[in-house]
Structure 1
Amino acid sequence: MRFRTALLAGAFALMAGGAVAQTGPTLRVGMAAQDIGRIDPHFAVSTPDRVLVAWLFNGLVRFRPGTIDPAQIEPDLAESWESSPDGKEWTFRLRQGVRFHGNYGELTADDVVFSLRKAANAQTSAFSADFRAMESVEAVDPRTVRIRLRENVPSLLGLLTAYSGGYIVSRRAVEERGTDFTRNPIGTGPFAVDRVTPNQSAELVAHAGYFRGTPQIGRISYRFIPSDASRDLAFQARELDLNYGRSDQTWQNRTRAIPNTIVDVFEPGELAILNLNTSMPPFNDIRIRRALAHAVNRAELVRWRGENVSREGQSLVPRGYLGFTADNGLLPHDPARARALLAEAGHPNGITIRAIHTQLPEMLSAMQVVQQQLRRAGITLDLQVVEHATFHQQVRQNLSPLVYYSAARFPVADIYLSQFWHGRSIVGTPTAVTNFSHCNQADSQIDRARVSTDQEEQKRLWAEAQRILVENVCGVPLFETLLVFARRDNLDYGYELRGSMSLGPLITEGTRLR
């Protein structure tokens, strides 16, 4: 079905087709979003999209549900794998009988090859830079896939997890649906898209043919409710079973007091950074970048957010990642020094900076606190607030000299450094990812660490890269926010939720509403 017909009616149905579960309760989820963005998993970059696609797709491997520990990566679509002694050739054996949603048949090695090539192509994926080392991927037979690397990578299995570029799609569905696939996708996961009503909800239906068993939840109603107050009221009125929470202490305390409610706080911590575009005014002047860095008060941000749910950002890589270092020369809070630097740069009366920002409530409220901090140091931040999907589009077009971006990635420094701080990832280039700063000064360190087989050498190079990027004030770390969702106590995930790389609870075949 093509969108143009459905859009004339004001809503569009996304065909799940084929065998679907006809029984089971409906899980009602409230998400802080105006609408869905892109649920082609290789373009799903916003939190609302990432949470949803994790219910629709699988990878060759996955993190064990409830964890983000690379040591607990386990089989998913692949039942087994092996690598050559030099780590440059990997062979994966696929499970037999895995079926796609609808009438798209059984998963084969051809779908895996197509998916990984798609993930590695900048025209068809937001995560192509992650796969730069992939020399070839081929189908040995219908159930066997072989990957050859040009060079070693810190964690190939990490790239192939059910996360970001590792998701596997149906080749036939992508080719048949074309651009419609971005909002009408086909995967192998426990749930399939039934229909999406713009600005209202995405309705999912259980995949009866799911290889791990038919889900106990029959449907998911994923409701777009951008207002925190409106979502909270709906949850209190028992109109929602699962609610995207706010990472602040007041919200948690208030929500925990609601009868029969559980508040889950879990990893990873999303690192919020002010990315400064060093290629355009005013941040092509390092004095102004340093002034802004001195104006930020991280301790105050943590007190505002809540010490149980946040922690100070200490580098341009999140805390706890393999390769993180706090020994990097991060500039301290010093408003007087900020004003002096502005005056030195020709702005004795302060400076006004226009920035595009999302209306997503949690990100907007955080930016408004930063806005107040900057004002104390003579920096007026003129916020141009737009819808979240529009924000993602515009910041990738160099329309904002300052970009507030909050993200979590696979917990190895290489991926964060490569996506946010490497020259290949500069927005507006053919290999763009999320380098909004246009910094490339640490490319050599990032590249050498990526191919090193000596972990101590890798750590040294990653630390050196962070020191270079901090010295150049490519970005200013703010705080790390743990993830928060509230649920009714009759919602049992089927596992203990300690972490989720999809940024939300995984709804699996074992999840149930008691």
Structure 2
Amino acid sequence: MKTLMKRLRAFALSGIIGVGLLGSFPALAAKTTLTVGAAATDVGTLDPHYATSTSDRTLVAWIYGALVRFAPGSTDPSTIEPDLAESWQVSNDKLIWTFKLRTGVQWQAGYGEVTADDVVYSLEKSRDPKRSAFSADFAAINKVEALGPHTVRITLSRRVPNLLGLVTNYAGGFIICKKAYEERKDRFGRAPVGFGPFQTQSIVAGQAVTLIANDKYFRGVPKIKTINYRFMSNNAARDLAFAAGELDASAGLANKSWLQRTTSIPGAVVDVFYPAELTLLHINITKPPFNDIRVREALAYAISTQKIAEYRGERFTRAPKSVIPSNNLGYTDNAGVFPYDPAKAKALLAQAGYAKGLTFTMLSSQLPEYETTAQLLQGQLEESGINVQLQPVEHTSWHQMIRKDLSPVVIYGAARFPVADIFLTQFYHSSSIVGTPGAVTNFSHCNVADKQIDEARTEADPAKQVALWQEAQRLIIQNVCAIPLTETSQVWVHNKKLNWGFDLKGSMSLGPLVTEQTSFSD
């Protein structure tokens, strides 16, 4: 007993001494390593002109910059501001755009100054279908020229709804290093070089990407020094890791049970932000049995989008009213979406020769959001005699397979620059049909609204332009090229000690931006 008391007194004394000495030590340094949980199994590519998956888009936005950018935390085109370009001028006919570049902006990895030649090379690559997944967006560009080391001129063959939207920090607008791309070639997708706030240090396949601060970033040295971007496609594992403090931020799930669990975690802050991704069921109208419009109509009548939205949770999901996102210029909520009517669905199937029911196979992404939607859809269609056999595929492989036209029906969620022309062109114009030279994401082989989409691009009267876009939406729904399923905002969670550095209302990269201002509080 005496020995125990001596030990306790010694322990107490050491504690007192320790406390007394604390004042002589400097304050603990602020945390500078950010650990993020991604709902993915691996990197697809960090070549920004091929980065189409949500996870890849989030990463490339931290690595690259563009001529202009959305203000951090926003998806509103009115907030577009200078990035590499410090200023620009446009001709009266809106066909010639001249951009003055900042001087002294440095590439990562010691590749020197960013110049007009890099911009020309990047935009030429973006509009080349052999080197870009977004070439259709740049079809109106006739010529890109360097007028000097820091001046770029873009000449259009026709007016476009928003040229700045094409050259912003999104999709094909990102600028890459010409020298690095030519040197690294096929390796560039996993060894990228940009001029953004963070650069790639390492990639461990299937495990993580490590990024480090770009100390030469022209806006200032980032406060975060290291980002560990961990691949955690399993929802439960990702949630447990966040709850245990192993993750500072994580991709969330757009469903009520996840929200309830997550908001009960001490210090958890849920981020719900734009753009809302519009998820549609794209139907290949050229393949039997879907080349029969009665079958397509039966699918439309058999789906209750309201029930899907209620299941997911009204904080972030709503039933869509058209085949383009509701935040798009040119959107209409009077596009003629089919009402839920299982009896009508069964009658149409019978008329088409499927009185005993219809069975088909659909490739299904294993990404949690897609997987849940596919299962909900499967259950609803079964009530109308439609049996969907789901074939689960890892998300990155799924992206590759659906672009090879390997599934007659495709569930696909997307958000694009918020002007109707972009979404309509990529998903419903015949120039974007998968498997063709200009292929983008027209999985339905739709061509019923080409005339309206084309005419709207060059229409000078804003009211007439919007009317054409709205007519296109009605035609696409009338012909059941696609069935709107959900419109869902982006959902993430972060620890309250993490400060993004801006008010997160939106992010075109589909994940929060990490900028030079992102930091941790004590």
Give the alignment partner of residue 63 of structure 2, picking from 53, 56, 67: 56
- In the other structure, the counterpart of 1:318 is 325
- In the other structure, the counterpart of 1:248 is 255
Give the alignment partner of residue 213 of structure 1, picking from 216, 220, 233: 220
Give the alignment partner of residue 383 of structure 1, picking from 387, 390, 396: 390
- In the other structure, the counterpart of 2:147 is 140
- In the other structure, the counterpart of 2:505 is 498
Q: Secondary structure at the match of 1:427?
A: coil
Give the alignment partner of residue 429 of structure 2, picking from 422, 434, 437: 422
Q: Secondary structure at the match of 2:108?
A: coil
Q: Secondary structure at the match of 1:113?
A: helix
1:259-298 → structure 2 map (5 Å cutoff)? 259-298=266-305
- In the other structure, the counterpart of 2:46 is 39
Give the alignment partner of residue 493 of structure 2, picking from 482, 486, 490: 486
1:265-321 deviation per Cα after TM superposition (whole angstroms, max 9, x unaligned): 111110000000011122111111000000110110011110111111111111121
1:172-251 → structure 2 map (5 Å cutoff)? 172-251=179-258
Structure 1, gaps ≥5 residues long: 1-22
**Aligned partners of 2:108, 2:198: CA distance in 1, in Å?**
8
TM-score (norm 1): 0.95
Amino acid at match of 2:145: E
Q: CA deviation at 1:184?
A: 1.5
**Aligned partners of 1:75, 1:25: CA distance in 2, in Å?**
28
**Aligned partners of 1:261, 1:299: CA distance in 2, in Å?**
29
- In the other structure, the counterpart of 1:68 is 75
The answer as to whether partners of 1:272 and 1:478 remain within 8 angstroms in 2 is yes
1:468-487 → structure 2 map (5 Å cutoff)? 468-487=475-494
Amino acid at match of 1:256: T
1:90-116 deviation per Cα after TM superposition (whole angstroms, max 9, x unaligned): 000001111111021110000000000
**Aligned partners of 1:360, 1:311: CA distance in 2, in Å?**
20
- In the other structure, the counterpart of 1:164 is 171
**Aligned partners of 2:440, 2:261: CA distance in 1, in Å?**
38
- In the other structure, the counterpart of 1:364 is 371
**Aligned partners of 2:149, 2:281: CA distance in 1, in Å?**
46
- Is 2:119 aligned against 1:112? yes
**Aligned partners of 1:386, 1:250: CA distance in 2, in Å?**
25
- In the other structure, the counterpart of 1:128 is 135
Query: Identical aligned pairs, as a percentage?
Result: 52
Amino acid at match of 1:63: F
**Aligned partners of 1:338, 1:390: CA distance in 2, in Å?**
33
Q: CA deviation at 1:24?
A: 6.4
**Aligned partners of 2:190, 2:300: CA distance in 1, in Å?**
39
Amino acid at match of 1:70: P
Amino acid at match of 2:105: V
1:78-97 → structure 2 map (5 Å cutoff)? 78-97=85-104
**Aligned partners of 1:504, 1:147: CA distance in 2, in Å?**
30
1:395-410 → structure 2 map (5 Å cutoff)? 395-410=402-417
TM-score (norm 2): 0.93
- In the other structure, the counterpart of 2:454 is 447
Amino acid at match of 1:292: L
Q: CA deviation at 1:52?
A: 0.6
1:176-232 deviation per Cα after TM superposition (whole angstroms, max 9, x unaligned): 111111221110000001110011001111100000011000010000000110000
**Aligned partners of 2:100, 2:253: CA distance in 1, in Å?**
41
**Aligned partners of 1:360, 1:283: CA distance in 2, in Å?**
26
The answer as to whether partners of 1:68 and 1:268 remain within 8 angstroms in 2 is yes
Summarize the Cα distance change of 1:203–1:197 in structure 2 as closer, same or farther, 3 Å threshold: same
1:452-497 deviation per Cα after TM superposition (whole angstroms, max 9, x unaligned): 1211011000011011111100000001011111000110011000
Q: CA deviation at 1:446?
A: 0.2
- In the other structure, the counterpart of 1:11 is none
Q: Secondary structure at the match of 1:424?
A: helix
The answer as to whether partners of 1:24 and 1:219 remain within 8 angstroms in 2 is no
1:22-80 deviation per Cα after TM superposition (whole angstroms, max 9, x unaligned): x9621000011011111100001110001110000001000000011111100001000
- In the other structure, the counterpart of 1:14 is none
Q: CA deviation at 1:328?
A: 1.8
Q: CA deviation at 1:424?
A: 0.4
Q: CA deviation at 1:253?
A: 2.2
Give the alignment partner of residue 304 of structure 1, picking from 302, 311, 329: 311
**Aligned partners of 1:471, 1:438: CA distance in 2, in Å?**
15
**Bigger radius of gyration, 1 or 2?**
2
1:10-31 deviation per Cα after TM superposition (whole angstroms, max 9, x unaligned): xxxxxxxxxxxxx962100001
Q: CA deviation at 1:513?
A: 1.5
Q: CA deviation at 1:150?
A: 0.3
1:137-163 deviation per Cα after TM superposition (whole angstroms, max 9, x unaligned): 000000000000000000000111100
Q: CA deviation at 1:367?
A: 1.0
